[in-house]
A = this chain, B = another copy of it.
């Protein structure tokens, strides 16, 4: 594919990834600066609190998981999460603006591993860190020259 075609293919993949119902529901914004990386922002709303008045663990995880899915699917090959381990390091609260950054740290034959850091966008404090493992299916949701089915 030529450069223009590559750009169009990547744009189609990014659109597919951004068109995520739960991401839209939470109001998160997804960026894919390059293959294998992502950055997702979210402002914590009142309804995202837990019974202690802090950001719900499920919201912090979801933010990291959105980043993980974006990074691990960014080449257009379907990746499914096998295992996620998350360490919760600091509390955050409704009103806080959080950002999750994911980057690929290993890509083997059928699996890949990502480091995800969730931090407070304003103070830079790290809220949570996770290490995430995917299984890469032999399925492409945006077929292209990476697709062995075409080679």
Contact = CB atoms under 8 A, between A and B. Distances in A.
A12 interface: no
Q: Summarize A's interface: helix, strand, loop or mixed.
A: mixed
B61 A84 contact: yes
A23 to B, nearest CB: 8
A65 B69 contact: no
Interface in A72-126: 73, 78, 80-91, 105-106, 108, 110-111, 113, 126
A50 B62 contact: no
Interface of A: 16-22, 24-26, 46-52, 56-59, 61-63, 65-66, 68-69, 73, 78, 80-91, 105-106, 108, 110-111, 113, 126, 129-131, 133, 135, 141
